Structure 1
Amino acid sequence: MDRLKELLENANRQTWIIIGLGLTTILAVGFLLLGNRPAASAQPEFASQSMMSDSGMAASSSAAATTSQTSVETTMYVDVKGAVKQPGMKKVTSTMRVIDAIQLAGGFASNADQKQVNLAQRLTDSQVVYIPKHGEQVPASATGGTSAAGGGAGAESQAPQVNINTADLTGLQQLDGVGEKKAQKILDYRQEHGGFKSADELKNVNGFGDKTLARLKPQITV
């Protein structure tokens, strides 16, 4: 009887030992699994950060490209003359063309000869945009109705010429220093003498001496 009791006690002790070892093993495996889980999730997090970094670099590159394109568009000034509604100096940009300058000047006047104007020509700084009137002859140096004016005598020599035999009162006033009164004197002389046979004949008009003729001669034609 005692022997049986002793065997039962030994069996129970072994059972508890086995159960304890099993629980210890389960806990150990559980800790190992929990310890590996953050390491496994680290890669997606790193990948997410990498994608955000690449996206930021792409956005920065795009912004830089936009800034670069904007910086190319510089401010300039052109002088719009001739048959436009509001002639004068106009503020433009380097990406604008002759048609834009004409629009800033109020558009074509009713007597503008648009066929002689190259509306697609790109503007340059200090350029003279001259719109001829019907009957005016534009020299080859101002093809398309525009010429680049750098100032001084060079600018005058590049300006479109005015035909003193065909230009009207307004057209004659495009000549340097010629106002309405002098323009009317030219018209009166032209009507009285049947026109000008040469540019030198202009000095026969009251108010036009040798110095005035020398200044205006590059600007006129007959």
Structure 2
Amino acid sequence: MSWILKNWYLVLVIAAILLWLLIDPSIEEQNDAADQMMENNPELLEEEKTVPTEYKIDIKGEIENPGVYQVTENDRVEDAIQLAGGFNSKADKQMINLAERVYDEMVIHVPAKGENAEGTHQMKDMGSDDQKVKVNLASIEEMQTIPGIGEVKANAIMEYRETYGRFEKIEDLTKVSGIGEKTVEKLKEYVRIP
């Protein structure tokens, strides 16, 4: 008690600072203004969430302008080919899945009519393994085709993806409840992150 009496001015200063911090209306007004702005303009929040990821892809073969192009995560192979000027007259359009979603570092090879199919498949395999499930794009049913992934884990993956966004690498699957490092090691031969 004697310390408080001797240092009453210090106690008074500390009390004044605490009181000022608790009562300062300008901080509360700033928070209220920010909250009100977000409530009145929910599209501001949505814009941040909906900015598509940009990818670089390599388009080769029988198209008008082969080369490296920048596309977004929502684009399909058909969009990419149109960006490159479309097919040329030698292109075998039946060998290309135009509905496939593009992914970063994808290689699209458009073969010529009559081109050796073996060469086409080799080129295709260099860019992707079509047998693997694309975790960022797969439905719950598609995920359940992966050995070791049942309905519960498929739902957990989908929920994580909807909450936190796309997986950047396969190891990110360990962030999903119920999936550990050993499970991820087993999944590597069945899944890919486009």
User: TM (normalized to structure 1)?
Assistant: 0.37
User: TM (normalized to structure 2)?
Assistant: 0.42
More helix by share: 1
Higher-RCO chain (CA-CA 8 Å, sequence separation at least 6): 2
Larger Rg: 1
